[in-house]
Amino acid sequence: MAYSKLADGLIEDEWRDDKSATAKLITERVNLRLAEQKTPTGEKVVERVVERTVRGYLAKIRKRFQEPDPDPILPMWQKARETGCRSNLASWPTDPEKIKTLTVLYDEGIFIIRELSPDAFIGLPDRMVKWALGISGFFDHKHRLDRLMHLWFAMLFYDEERFLLGMKRDVSELGIQSVYTGALMSWHQRHTEPERSQIRVPFLLPDPPWEMPVDDLAAQIGALLILDLGLELQEPVPPGIRHVVIDRAFNLYSQKNLAPNKTRGEAND
């Protein structure tokens, strides 16, 4: 049975988040997420996946996928040594605008990570830095929401590129037709064409993340960044399970920011 690109993408997404999950668990998770999706006309998606087909699809993914080598972290002001040949290390940019962009993002990274991790933020992976610089024109760093969304999109493209490399697929799949580029366009057009947001963010999150309270968004993005950087959360979690990491991050954030015996609803009053 062939599934739609949406269903295939959800299966891959769930497997990437939790590579130890069984076919049964991934089937349940995918069907829950499919039940939340809507067509461009606002109707509910009726597609569902079955465990047997999911098991076969996962077997093909596992057979093909090979984890790429870790990307080196780019510390601030690092300059690659002159070796006479291309260095594996990246250099901090010299262009003033690129320096400003990375400095702002690194500062935000420090801020959101220190709330959730005992480890220090040193920098972003080189490949993530390249994505951050490439899409920087879509964000106004005077606003925290823009800084957070810039980090989030940089992580999305970075993680997807690493997945494509591991699957020995062409990175050009991240082109104009990709889910991630569509989501970036929804962010870009959120004020001029807001009706596109629900249509073009098909399975990244149930709702456009930029509609969340900023502090909640910061907790989620901080947790995902900690995961990508291989840092520790203040509360240990099973390795490689993104869903658990996000949930634990929310719990940690809530415990720090809500007074004893005070609910979130009361805190927002």
Identify the burial level of 240 via C-beta atoms within 10 angstroms of its C-beta, where 0-12 means exposed, 13-18 middle and 19 or more buried: middle
Model pLDDT for residues 207-230, shown as the tens digit of each residue: 678 888 899 889 889 988 998 898
Assess whether 56 and 101 both reside in one domain.
no
In this prediction, residue 220 carries a pLDDT of 85
Residues 9 and 121 reside in one and the same domain: no
pLDDT in tens, 244-268: 555 555 555 555 555 444 443 444 4
Same domain, 180 and 262: yes
Which residues constitute the domain of residue 49? 5-64
**Cβ pair 153, 186 in contact under 8 A:** no
Token pair for 114: 């220190």
The whole-model pTM stands at 0.79
Examine the domain organization and report whether 96 and 52 are in the same domain: no
Same-domain check for residues 151 and 240: yes
Are 98 and 57 part of one and the same domain?
A: no
Is residue 49 located within the same domain as residue 15?
Answer: yes
Please report the pLDDT score of residue 247 as a whole number: 56
Provide the pLDDT for residue 59.
94
Quick one: 42 and 93 in the same domain? Answer: no
pLDDT, residue 211, reads 84
Return the residue matching tokens 């805190």: 267
Query: Within the chain, which residues score under 50 in pLDDT?
Result: 83-88, 203, 259-269
- Do 10 and 127 reside in the same domain of the chain? no
Q: How many CA atoms lie within 13 A of 100 on its CB side?
A: 9
d(CA 152, CA 208): 12
Do residue 232 and residue 136 come from a single domain?
A: yes
Q: Do residues 15 and 107 share a domain? A: no
Same domain, 94 and 155: yes
Q: How many structural domains are present in the chain?
A: 2
CB-based contact 166:68 (threshold 8 Å): yes
Question: What Cα–Cα distance (Å) separates residue 40 from each residue in 43, 47, 151, 181, 202?
Answer: 7, 15, 28, 17, 10
**Which stretches within 46-143 are classed as H helix?**
51-64, 96-114, 126-134
